[in-house]
Structure 1
Amino acid sequence: MNHYGAQMMRHWQAEHHQAYGELREPTKYFTQLGEEIAEQVELRARSLAGVAPPGEGYLGRLQRLNTARLEAEGAIVREYLQQEPEAGETPVS
């Protein structure tokens, strides 16, 4: 399980007791959720980073890519943390 999955698992344990308790395989669920979040962060970071401007040096590129990743991660994780599990729709796989 990656750090996104672990973060979501801790969040559900603290904030969504009932939905968490309904999961038959929480480790599997949060492993998959963490992978989904990581993929979304990567896609958003690539989009935010855009194309390198002409003459961009190593440090400029590093700053552009790191900034894009941090912005993407903050936005995506916030979106997932704000989602409420819906009754009867909680995955129990």
Structure 2
Amino acid sequence: MIRYYFGNKEGLFETMVRETMMPMKKKMDDIFNESDHRNLFEFMRIYYHEMNKVPQFPRLVAQVMHMPPSATQRRLFEKVFTDMGRPDHDLMFGKLQKSGVPA
């Protein structure tokens, strides 16, 4: 079944990470699209709210990030975080630069 739906175990792992992070990503997109000085507070509030739903996830992240950089799980986590975080990162720092904060 794993091979049919996800291709392999790595595909299942990546899908689990993406689906766990997606509700937080959607809410973060909403707050970053609003130009508001409370965005950092909202980001942290959403993070803790979403992580309370899956309390094992932060521990899994810590365990995976302590693996060697060549470990498949770590590479998949980094790929997902980069894919999901890059647009928000660019938007947030773009707004800071427009407001006069040096890079």
TM-score grouping bracket, smaller chain normalisation: 0.3 to 0.5
Greater relative contact order structure (CA < 8 Å, 6+ sep): 1
Scaled by the length of structure 2, what TM-score is found?
Answer: 0.31
Instruction: Choose between structure 1 and 2: higher helix proportion.
Output: 2
Which protein is bigger by CA-based radius of gyration? 1
